[in-house]
Structure 1
Amino acid sequence: MNKLIGTMLVLLVLLGALAGCAAPEPTKAPPPPAATQVPATSVPAATKPPATAAPAPTTAPVASAPVKIVYWRALSGAPGDAQEEIAKRFNASQKEVQVEVQFQGTYPELQRKLQAALAARTTPDVVMFDSPQMPYFAKNGALAPLDDFAKGADSVDLKNYIPGLLADGYFDGKLYALPFARSTPILYFNRDLFKEVGLPDRAPETWDEFLEFSKKLVKKEGAETKRVGYAVQMGTTTAHWYFQELLYAYGNDVSDDKFKVLIDQPEGVAAAKFLQDMIFVHGAAIPGTGPDGAQGEFTNQRSGMHFGSTGSLVNIISTSKFQVGVGFMPAAKRRQVPIGGSVLAVLSASPKEKQAAAWKFIKYMTNTESNVYFVQKTGYMPISTSAVNSPEMKEFLAKNPAFKIAVEQLQFVRPQASIIAVPEATEIFRQLVEKLTVGKIDPATAMKEASAALTKAYNETFK
């Protein structure tokens, strides 16, 4: 499960790069006319010429109907629009396969719908997974191995994909998915508010500095707090990812290669206490439990900083009514960030013909042209060396420093913790963050309870 070596290869690659219709049925030739009978006379009978056979008509191939497949996607906003456009281009590029795109909501919502579809035997042909979800479905036989497709007549050069990103597509030695919308968390900040309160025009370098910046951003009117430095992500799709980064920074490895959970170690407890103290001791943060979540608190200027996916760059910059700055995630004992985002997989329940069509589609979705387009429209990371090295990508990064920050941070990436592959894990982490930031539960107790819950879920799912 350990993909750290592969992940470092991501750095080496990316940092180096920063320097018709069928023919009509032919008309059949008419048979030669019957020979006229010559009446008998005293003259010799005429010699009958040999009949000439008409050439056999050539039969044109009958155009077969395209194979129709269904693709279940997640992600709304710019990433959703970009997927729809790439699928539209795919359909227009050839006549063998036609894909229908169906939006299924967030990653957890898509996962729940897929589990129901598997039980009802009404699955799609292609699905987008949050990368940690893939091993569970591969283990249970829901996904088709892609190795034969990758090596077959419609092959793809797997070496072109960034090794650390492709590694997330393997389970038990077999390839089950290709990388697609891959990302890391980054820090967004309100440059206008920073200027207003006298902060430097840059992101805080460390978690301690993050706390100090947050304190300066607090704005009160009487006893009411109108603005804080940071709103904590509380969602099932977000809480675990950003909390992992804090744990990594404090020197805590969330779990090891054997799925042993480590969050109740002293470093993990210290990280949890830091987060809790930002709210209850320093008054510099709030739980992002409002109707618009943590991102809404930021875009509505009720918080001055925000942790978000690189894949949210376009949405955040385009919807914010202020100047947005971008920086690396803060460091403590170390600076490390978890890789996130999605992969594309093919369902094993689909007939072989549709599996082949699905492979053709995901190959197109991840090719150089499609990936460059997707990166530029969303902020997600390049997934292949050919995309990174393309003139279009180099020009784009030079003109868009915020996107460049996202790529440069790859020197600090590491895979998400192994335990996140357990389906219940993200919800357990969400409950943990809620206990810390809303329930004010003792950090050591909360981490111990979450560790036990994660271990129990792993034993019930993977053992």
Structure 2
Amino acid sequence: MRKLFMLLTIVSLFVSALAGCSGGKGSTVKASKEGAKIVVPFINGVGGSLADRVDKIVEEYNKSQDKYVVKTTKAGNYDESYQKLQSGFAANNQEAIALLGSDVMQEYVKKKLIVPLDEYVKNDNSFKKEDYGKGFINQATIDGKLYGIPFYGTTQVFYYNKKVLAENGFTADDLKTWEGVEKIAKKVAKRDGNGNVTYAGWMPMWGTSNLIDAVRSAGGSVLSEDGKKVLINDGTWVTVWGKFRTWLHEDKIMNIHSGGTGWEYWDKTIIDLVEGRTLGFTGSSGDQGFVFKSLGKGMNEEERLNTFGALPQPAWGDHKPAPKLETYLFTLTRNVDPEVAKGAYDFMKFATSTEKTAEWSMATGYIPVRNNVTEYGPYAEFVKRQPQALVPLEQANQYGVAPFVDPTGGKINDALNVAKDKVEIEGVPAKEALDEAAKVAQEELDKALKKKK
């Protein structure tokens, strides 16, 4: 997967129903054995070729000890894994280990579908929270309790053509603000006789993530500090979204892919960079392997490393960048047999060791969660050869902010999703699209707040 959207919308379709299933008293996820080993069921939502990487970690763990055997339920993506969990929770036979995004984890905590790990951590002298990046462990902790062990992080960064940037008289420093990006894009963009963009000065990735990151990097917020008012049509939002509309539809200095099957739009964006149809794009930290190794034609890996670079996302004016940092975590589901739960915790520790988090990061481009990963020999050598691999980690440590957690169970995100297509694809004025979204979002927020009373 290249992009890991917040998935609260799908969670909201079933999580409230699951809350009504108490799961009964005692352990409903019973212990079973394969030979002499206790079986530890695990559901993996990492799809595509990356699923093979997770399988490798599971295989190595199973060979490393004689007490437990982790058995994986595969899902094509996180949506599918959450749907399978729905069925498991309803039947009280869900997997013991669930890999969840931090936003979804919060929903599961509210509904008591997963349990804290503190009782295992307190008896484990080798586990130290400070060994994990602060941003990651903060997202794993709710109300002072540890509900997950971070496996990897993801954030969106800039990928760009270093040679084209230099040929046009610019440096990487010119990409540190959106004002700088606009200046560069105006110079390098090319259009045909009909005004269609043939070379884009930049390409945002279709979706709300880039747009929300840009707003937060201009000082904007989704909600007021007291959480009672939706702010998605205030001046900051209208200005920022309006800029993207202008760049795409009036100035025509940027381009965007949308729709298609699965990740088709995402792949097309990456290929446009590699094959020379854009100066750069905003994409996932997990795109590194695709940019520097596999997608697109006409370059070998060495040529790609010499041509393309990565940078943190920019800010607006004097503001600091505020890109979303999302953590994916191993969690322990409710009502699991104590022996199975011990095995689940043991696997979580193995999979998030310095060695494993480094190997995962080198293979995928996703952010390693361990603070000491740069001291691990193979990783240190890797980033010497590929220094761009450190950019997501540096961005996460310096600027990363937690994902917006939608208190309506996804309705605010839904409204923004509708608005983004109106602005990015249809060219509707930002104020019009955001006013409509804010009306819907505020109504849903008011309903959610009323239910809490």
Q: When the two structures are superposed, what TM-score results if normalisation uses the length of structure 1?
A: 0.77
**Aligned counterparts of 2:93 and 2:116: Cα–Cα separation in 1:** 19
What are the superposed Cα offsets for residues 4-42 of structure 1, whole Å, 9 maximum, x if unpaired? xxxxxxxxxxxxxxxxxxxxxxxxxxxxxxxxxxxxxxx
CA displacement at 1:344 relative to structure 2 = 1.5
Q: 1:337-348, aligned counterparts within 5 Å?
A: 337-348=323-334
CA displacement at 1:154 relative to structure 2 = 8.2
Structure 2 partner of 1:390: 376
CA displacement at 1:119 relative to structure 2 = 3.2
Structure 2 partner of 1:282: 251
Structure 1 partner of 2:283: 308
The amino acid across from 1:66 in the alignment is K
Structure 2 partner of 1:325: 309
Structure 1 partner of 2:364: 378
Give RMSD over aligned pairs: 2.9
1:299 correspondence with 2:271? yes
Shift in CA distance, 338/272, structure 1 to aligned 2, threshold 3 Å:
same
**Aligned counterparts of 1:397 and 1:130: Cα–Cα separation in 2:** 26
Match for 1:351 among 337, 349, 357? Answer: 337
8 Å CA contact retained: 2:407, 2:448: no
**Aligned counterparts of 2:222 and 2:208: Cα–Cα separation in 1:** 11
CA displacement at 1:450 relative to structure 2 = 2.9
Shift in CA distance, 404/219, structure 1 to aligned 2, threshold 3 Å:
same
Equivalenced residue count is: 397
Shift in CA distance, 398/245, structure 1 to aligned 2, threshold 3 Å:
same
Structure 2 partner of 1:67: 38
**Aligned counterparts of 2:74 and 2:414: Cα–Cα separation in 1:** 22
**Aligned counterparts of 2:59 and 2:402: Cα–Cα separation in 1:** 32
Which portions of structure 1, spanning 4 or more consecutive aligned residues, are displaced by more than 6 angstroms? none
Shift in CA distance, 167/386, structure 1 to aligned 2, threshold 3 Å:
same
What are the superposed Cα offsets for residues 374-396 of structure 1, whole Å, 9 maximum, x if unpaired? 12222222312233433443333
Identity of aligned residues (%): 20
SS in 1 for 2:39: strand
CA displacement at 1:455 relative to structure 2 = 4.5
**Aligned counterparts of 1:134 and 1:454: Cα–Cα separation in 2:** 22
CA displacement at 1:93 relative to structure 2 = 0.5
Q: 1:43-82, aligned counterparts within 5 Å?
A: 65-76=36-47, 79-82=50-53
Shift in CA distance, 401/446, structure 1 to aligned 2, threshold 3 Å:
same
8 Å CA contact retained: 1:68, 1:354: yes
Match for 2:220 among 252, 261, 270? Answer: 252
What are the superposed Cα offsets for residues 90-147 of structure 1, whole Å, 9 maximum, x if unpaired? 1110121111233323334433443344334442221221211110011101112111
The amino acid across from 1:415 in the alignment is A
CA displacement at 1:201 relative to structure 2 = 5.6
CA displacement at 1:307 relative to structure 2 = 0.9
Shift in CA distance, 65/109, structure 1 to aligned 2, threshold 3 Å:
same
Shift in CA distance, 284/211, structure 1 to aligned 2, threshold 3 Å:
same
What are the superposed Cα offsets for residues 359-416 of structure 1, whole Å, 9 maximum, x if unpaired? 1111111111111211222222231223343344333333321012223323122222
SS in 1 for 2:258: coil
Shift in CA distance, 316/273, structure 1 to aligned 2, threshold 3 Å:
same
**Structure 1 unmatched ranges of 5 or more:** 1-61
Larger mean CA deviation between 350-359 and 417-426 belongs to 417-426
CA displacement at 1:327 relative to structure 2 = 1.3
1:431 correspondence with 2:418? yes
What are the superposed Cα offsets for residues 202-238 of structure 1, whole Å, 9 maximum, x if unpaired? 372211221233334433343243332334323xxxx
Structure 2 partner of 1:106: 77
8 Å CA contact retained: 1:188, 1:306: yes
Shift in CA distance, 267/369, structure 1 to aligned 2, threshold 3 Å:
same
Structure 1 partner of 2:25: none
What are the superposed Cα offsets for residues 265-288 of structure 1, whole Å, 9 maximum, x if unpaired? 211111111111111111122332
1:271 correspondence with 2:257? no
Structure 2 partner of 1:8: none
CA displacement at 1:79 relative to structure 2 = 3.9
Structure 1 partner of 2:18: none
CA displacement at 1:242 relative to structure 2 = 1.7
SS in 2 for 1:187: strand
CA displacement at 1:82 relative to structure 2 = 2.5
CA displacement at 1:86 relative to structure 2 = 1.3
SS in 2 for 1:325: strand
8 Å CA contact retained: 1:132, 1:420: no
SS in 1 for 2:367: coil
**Aligned counterparts of 1:311 and 1:248: Cα–Cα separation in 2:** 22
**Aligned counterparts of 1:424 and 1:110: Cα–Cα separation in 2:** 21
**Aligned counterparts of 2:383 and 2:68: Cα–Cα separation in 1:** 34
Shift in CA distance, 249/154, structure 1 to aligned 2, threshold 3 Å:
closer
Match for 2:94 among 100, 103, 123? Answer: 123
